[in-house]
Chain A
Amino acid sequence: MNNGIYKILLNERIAKDVYKMILGGDTSAITAPGQFINIGLEGFYLRRPISICDYDDKTITVIYKVVGQGTDELSRLRPGHTLDILVGLGNGYDCSKSGNAPLLVGGGVGVPPLYNLCRTLIGHGKKPTVVLGFNTADEVFYEDEFKSLGAEVFVTTVDGSHGTKGFVTNVFDEIDYDYFYTCGPMPMFRAVNEKAKTGGQFSFEERMGCGFGACMGCSCKTKNGYKRICKDGPVLEREEIIW
């Protein structure tokens, strides 16, 4: 974990209520795809935990949805503004568990952390298939970005306004996969858990106090004992999750 001041290089709307932000600063604390950062915002006591979509030596890309006053304030900040951020939080996805044909399943703002994961897996010579689920066409983002990485991409929308009508699991039968990684809302997790035939990893969301394991605000019960979503997660193995 690092604490630093990061400069906003870009902050733009990319879908309904969804924004992409690029932050300039030290990224050395990031060790795995699926980790998150915790952003301090003036006027708000607690930080905002947001998953890392992608990063390089000098920049971090995050994609966030405006869901409350904090993220609304965040969406109004302009390039040049600086933010106090804790970087490199959480365990992240374990890429070593993947077979040659991993399936990446993202729902809504659960999509972003899969991007760096997809890039990393391709870098390891894997052939990922990506399923992105949204409610409606105006919520869809990053379809082309995943395609540009070289992944096969399926998009589903609940109302059928873009891609396959229905839920992410509706396309599972068309895909040959040997492991899966997922991030998204709980109802989607339950559906993925019912449908998926292989081992996999789920990245969870919870209201957090600190984001680095001190307060026990985001604890959950697993088959391997109590875990803190922020520190022992957010990624949990399929086998250890209690549904």
Chain B
Amino acid sequence: MVNTKVTLSGLTLDNPVIPASGTFGFGYEFADIYDINILGSISCKGTTKDSRFGNPTPRIAECTNGMINSVGLQNPGVDKVMSEELKKLAQVYSKPVIANVSGFSIDEYAYTCGKIDKAPEVGLIEVNVSCPNVHNGGMSFGTSAESAAAVTRAVKAVTTKPVYIKLSPNVTDIASIAKACEEAGADGISLINTLLGMRIDLKTRKPVIKNKMGGFSGPAIFPVALRMVYQVYEAVSIPIIGMGGVSSARDVIEMMLAGAAAVQVGAANLVDPFVCKIIIDQLPEVMEQFGIENLTDIIGGSH
């Protein structure tokens, strides 16, 4: 009998598989198609201080082995997320969830994180300093070590739960940014967010996405994500949640060997709504195939 349990800053997960923010809504709609209590945790839809509609449509473009999205953080705002969405999720999911927070100023990050920290359903806060979709948004915070650290300090000052900083891959030296977040008090690092990309329609000769550019995700970015998790693992000693193109139990193990303590599954949920269940079901078999008894033993095992 293999052991799939992993731990994130004192939070024990039955398995390392977590649907990534923005690809699973607030989870409860997936409860109609399978028992979502099997999930290690759920990273909820990105939440901001105020309600947001997000970007104009089209917000989606297809790519070879991936997709571009430019949703723009559509969400009902932190108050409604706490009073409605997290309550609905709690009716069908009994484990602690990950709140995913975005902001447009350091004050806003602190305000939203300070509020959602008090939600009893939340076990961990993931701070998105990297969303490339919003013109005046996260991009600037995630692209310099100083501003990422400033967000980290501000959020840590007003929260009691573990704070993980979700980093942007659209940078030259991700390890130095991760290191700055660790020094500023981050309890962990999530990576990677989407890569900035675009597609052009040959018929209209215009960008497919209304906002021209968006976040590229899917299996095509897995090697980039894996490389960055590997680099960050060497730079920090706090836990890493690895993500970017993960679509199978083998991908989960590969991501953990690079240094991830847990793994998020993103775009794959949109193509196959059952993918997290399939990965969790297959994980023990793949562990046995590669002689893994305890998943925690392999974290960073490739270094």
Dominant secondary structure of chain A at its interface with chain B: loop
From A210, A216, A220, A221, give the contact of B273 (CB < 8 A). Answer: A210
Q: Which residues of B contact A217 (CB under 8 A)?
A: 57, 59-60, 69, 71
Q: Which of the segments B28-36, B169-177, B182-190 contacts the partner chain?
A: B28-36
Q: Which residues of A contact B64 (CB under 8 A)?
A: 45
> Is B284 in the interface zone, CB < 8 Å from A?
no
B17-47 Cβ-contact flags toward A at 8 Å (1 or 0): 0000011110001101100000000000100
> Is B63 in the interface zone, CB < 8 Å from A?
yes
> Is B270 in the interface zone, CB < 8 Å from A?
yes
Query: Can you name 30 A-B residue pairings with CB atoms under 8 Å?
Result: A1-B32, A3-B272, A3-B274, A40-B271, A45-B219, A46-B62, A206-B57, A207-B57, A207-B58, A207-B59, A207-B60, A208-B60, A209-B69, A209-B270, A210-B270, A210-B271, A212-B29, A213-B29, A214-B25, A214-B270, A215-B71, A215-B270, A216-B59, A216-B71, A217-B57, A217-B69, A218-B57, A218-B60, A219-B71, A219-B74
Number of A-B contacts (CB under 8 A): 90
Within 8 A of B (CB), among A190-232: 206-210, 212-221, 226, 231
> Is B54 in the interface zone, CB < 8 Å from A?
yes
Q: Are A46 and B270 in contact (CB under 8 A)?
A: yes
Query: Count of B residues near A, CB < 8 Å?
Result: 35
Dominant secondary structure of chain B at its interface with chain A: loop
Q: Which residue of B lies closest to A38 (CB)?
A: B271
* A6 CB to nearest chain B CB (Å): 15
> Is A52 in the interface zone, CB < 8 Å from B?
no
Within 8 A of A (CB), among B72-92: 74
> Is A86 in the interface zone, CB < 8 Å from B?
yes
Q: Are B53 and A215 in contact (CB under 8 A)?
A: no
In the assembled complex, the Cα of A216 lies from the Cα of B208 at a distance in Å of 17
Q: Are B66 and A45 in contact (CB under 8 A)?
A: yes
